[in-house]
């Protein structure tokens, strides 16, 4: 960008500047244009002081008889003794407070319940026309009326990343949402949260391609496909670089290469579906060779076998507590997976991958931590809560905004009826940006989707 052109950009407006077709007018390459900007606004809120709770702050502290002050949608203070005469006060004696849970791997809004034959014929979870669907943005498929959003919210989830499925090798861009009631995706979209890009290795893409008789049919073919795609994207990126430096003509804008170029630029991190340890090790080497960053391996059922390697690479692992065995690459799943990844100094996270588990992330972490404790590891609740909060915030690149109850962060918090990893615990109240998004005791703060309206009774008979 040259100095004399900058004012002109500002004069014609930011969007026009970013999408300019005039040679040399564009200030930035096209791959970070947000075509569907967030219109999210926090729900109506008041400053709130919650007192007499056991607080797990997500940073590693446990505060007995603690208080949490939320002011203007931010965490104002956390501590043993707080006061604010003007704030609405909630007595949470005997109850627990944690940061809002973050589900790093959801398909809500695209795997929409109730599932019907329509989904079997053509699902929105993955775009299947090509093994490279990097040009698909999952946000363009989100159905806000999926009842699974409200179920996730009712069980403590305040932020979730919806990822494309694992049938294509390049699944496309992810989106980060608040699971709040809305009529548009844009109204759920977390402002400023970066996209991720879904990639997949192993059985899923190759079996999809073998079935469709197109694309790679083997693990080695998948790797070759990835190399070729990134090589092409790199040429595209360089062509844009030359153009933006005032040399050469403007390249054609290619939505598929845009996403991959943003990945090579380090502006979009990869969320990599992989099961086996050997496959993850190959992907780590490949990411270094080609210059892309893996934020997290997803599923990673053999993550425990290479826990130190994952920790050294600063790559998180999103895992289940006990899913194993249902396919060949899942045979070696063990319940200590998260705990062993954690013990090596790595970044362990629990994920749902399904609307079913999206409601029980707290129990998932409880099961995984219990297995780790039985294996001799010290895993107190104040540490384990990080698997559902601080660690996924980091993998989303949102660690400065969410994931802990530190002053200045978004006031996303949950009041639990009991120790949050217990099967008996309920999310009593869920706050997003300081607003009550769910209240188990108040029917007017328990969202019901349009789909449920007139179909299912809200209360017991």
Partner 1 sequence: MIRAARIAALAILAALPPWAQARAADGPVPVIAIVHALAMPVATPPVADATILIAGGHVRSVTTHGPVPPGARRIDARGRIVTPGLFSAATQLGLVEVSGARDTDDRTVSRGPLGPAFDVQYALNGHSSLLPLARADGLAWAMSYPGGTQLAPFAGQGALIHLRPSGDILAHAGAAMVAAMGDIALAPAGGSRAAQWVLLRAALAEARQPPSAHDPASGRILAPVDRVALAPVIAGTMPLLIVANRESDIRQAIRLTRETAIRVVVLGGAEAWRAAADLAAAHVPIILDPEADLLQTFDSLGARLDNAALLAKAGVEIAFSVPGNGIYLSYDAGLDLREGAGIAVANGLPYAAALRAITAAPAAIWGVRGAGTLVSGAGADLVLWDGDPLEPASSPALMFIDGHELSLSTRQSALRDRYAPARPDAPPRDTALPPAYR
- The site for partner 1, by CB under 8 A, has a size of 56
Of 45-53, 240-248, 304-312, 398-406: span binding partner 1 (CB under 8 A) = 304-312
Question: What does the block give as tokens for 104?
Answer: 């790093």
Determine contact, residues 208/128, Cβ cutoff 8 Å. yes
Asked if residue 377 binds partner 1 (CB under 8 A), the reply is yes
Backbone angles phi and psi of 70, in degrees to 5: -115, 125
Q: Which of 357, 344, 349 is nearest to 388 (CA)?
A: 349
Give the x-and-dash track for 408-427 against partner 1 (CB under 8 A): -------------xxxxxx-
Residue closer to partner 1 (CB basis): 44 or 114: 114
Among 98, 359, 391, 404, binds partner 1 (CB under 8 A): 359
Cα separation, 416 vs 427, in Å, equals: 5
Determine contact, residues 216/131, Cβ cutoff 8 Å. yes
Determine contact, residues 323/117, Cβ cutoff 8 Å. no
Cα separation, 268 vs 247, in Å, equals: 26
Cα separation, 222 vs 205, in Å, equals: 8
Of 72-80, 169-177, 194-202, 332-340: span binding partner 1 (CB under 8 A) = 332-340
Residue closer to partner 1 (CB basis): 38 or 359: 359
DSSP category for residue 268: S
Residue located via tokens 């698997």: 387
Of 111-119, 129-137, 157-165, 188-196: span binding partner 1 (CB under 8 A) = 111-119
Among 67, 92, 264, 307, binds partner 1 (CB under 8 A): 307
Residues 223-282 that bind partner 1 (CB under 8 A): none
Of 38-46, 109-117, 121-129, 238-246: span binding partner 1 (CB under 8 A) = 109-117
Residue closer to partner 1 (CB basis): 199 or 330: 330
Write the CA distances from 248 to 5, 29, 239, 240, 297, integer angstroms.
17, 14, 8, 9, 39
Cα separation, 319 vs 350, in Å, equals: 5
The least distance separating partner 1 from the CB of residue 115, rounded to whole angstroms, comes to: 6
DSSP category for residue 347: -
Asked if residue 351 binds partner 1 (CB under 8 A), the reply is no
Give the x-and-dash track for 150-189 against partner 1 (CB under 8 A): -x--------------------------------------
Among 100, 205, 366, 403, binds partner 1 (CB under 8 A): 366
Q: Crossing angle of helices 219-244/255-264, nearest 10°? A: 90
Residue closer to partner 1 (CB basis): 335 or 394: 335
The least distance separating partner 1 from the CB of residue 140, rounded to whole angstroms, comes to: 24
Question: What does the block give as tokens for 315?
Answer: 């790559």
Tell me how many degrees the CA angle 333-336-337 measures, rounded to the nearest 5.
Answer: 55
Backbone angles phi and psi of 33, in degrees to 5: -60, 130
Residues 425-454 that bind partner 1 (CB under 8 A): 425-426, 451-452
Residue closer to partner 1 (CB basis): 288 or 327: 327
Reduce the DSSP state of residue 24 to 3 states and report it: coil
Asked if residue 105 binds partner 1 (CB under 8 A), the reply is no
Residue closer to partner 1 (CB basis): 230 or 421: 421
Determine contact, residues 243/1, Cβ cutoff 8 Å. no
Asked if residue 323 binds partner 1 (CB under 8 A), the reply is yes
Asked if residue 304 binds partner 1 (CB under 8 A), the reply is yes
Among 21, 85, 86, 114, binds partner 1 (CB under 8 A): 114
The least distance separating partner 1 from the CB of residue 342, rounded to whole angstroms, comes to: 9
Q: Give the N- to C-terminal CA distance of the chain in Å, as an integer.
A: 66
**Other CB atoms within 10 A of residue 186 CB:** 17
Q: Name the residues that contact partner 1, by CB under 8 A.
A: 113-116, 147-148, 151, 203, 304-305, 307, 322-328, 330-336, 340, 343-344, 354-357, 359-360, 363, 366-367, 369-370, 374-377, 421-426, 451-452, 455-457, 460-461
């Amino acid at each position: 960008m040259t100095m004399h052109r900058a004012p002109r950009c500002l004069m014609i407006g930011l969007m026009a500047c970013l999408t300019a077709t005039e040679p040399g007018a564009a200030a930035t390459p096209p791959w970070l244009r947000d075509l569907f900007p967030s219109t999210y606004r926090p729900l109506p809120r008041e400053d709130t002081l919650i007192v007499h709770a056991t607080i797990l702050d997500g940073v590693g502290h446990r505060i007995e008889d603690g208080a949490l002050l939320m002011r203007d949608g931010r965490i104002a203070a956390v501590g043993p003794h707080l006061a604010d005469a003007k704030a609405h006060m909630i007595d949470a004696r005997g109850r627990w407070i944690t940061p809002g849970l973050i589900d790093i791997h959801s398909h809500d809004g695209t795997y929409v319940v109730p599932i019907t034959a329509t989904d079997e014929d053509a699902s929105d979870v993955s775009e299947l026309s090509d093994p490279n669907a990097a040009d698909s943005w999952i946000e363009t498929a989100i159905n806000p009326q999926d009842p699974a959003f409200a179920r996730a919210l009712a069980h403590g989830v305040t932020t979730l990343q919806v990822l494309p499925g694992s049938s294509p090798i390049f699944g496309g861009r992810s989106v980060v949402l608040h699971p709040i009631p809305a009529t548009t995706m844009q109204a759920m979209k977390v402002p400023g949260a970066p996209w991720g890009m879904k990639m997949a290795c192993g059985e899923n893409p190759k079996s999809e391609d073998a079935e469709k008789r197109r694309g790679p049919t083997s693990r080695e073919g998948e790797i070759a496909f990835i190399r070729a795609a990134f090589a092409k994207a790199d040429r595209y990126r360089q062509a844009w670089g030359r153009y933006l430096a005032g040399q050469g003509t403007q390249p054609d804008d290619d939505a598929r290469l845009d996403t991959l170029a943003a990945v090579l630029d380090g502006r979009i991190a990869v969320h990599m579906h992989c099961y086996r340890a050997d496959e993850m090790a190959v992907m780590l080497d490949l990411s270094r060779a080609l210059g892309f960053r893996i934020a997290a391996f997803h599923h990673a059922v053999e993550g425990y076998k290479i826990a130190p390697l994952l920790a050294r690479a600063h790559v998180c692992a999103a895992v289940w507590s006990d899913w194993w065995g249902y396919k060949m690459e899942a045979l070696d799943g063990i319940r200590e997976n998260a705990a062993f990844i954690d013990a090596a100094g790595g970044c362990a996270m629990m994920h749902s991958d399904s609307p079913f588990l999206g409601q029980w992330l707290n129990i998932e972490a409880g099961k995984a931590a219990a297995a780790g404790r039985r294996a001799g590891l010290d895993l107190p609740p104040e540490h384990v809560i990080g698997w559902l909060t601080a660690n996924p915030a980091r993998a989303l690149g949102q660690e400065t905004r969410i994931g802990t109850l530190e002053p200045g962060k978004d006031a996303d918090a949950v009041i639990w009826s009991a120790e949050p990893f217990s099967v008996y615990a309920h999310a009593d109240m869920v706050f997003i940006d300081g607003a009550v998004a769910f209240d188990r005791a108040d029917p007017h703060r328990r969202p019901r989707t349009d789909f449920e309206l007139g179909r299912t009774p809200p209360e017991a008979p």
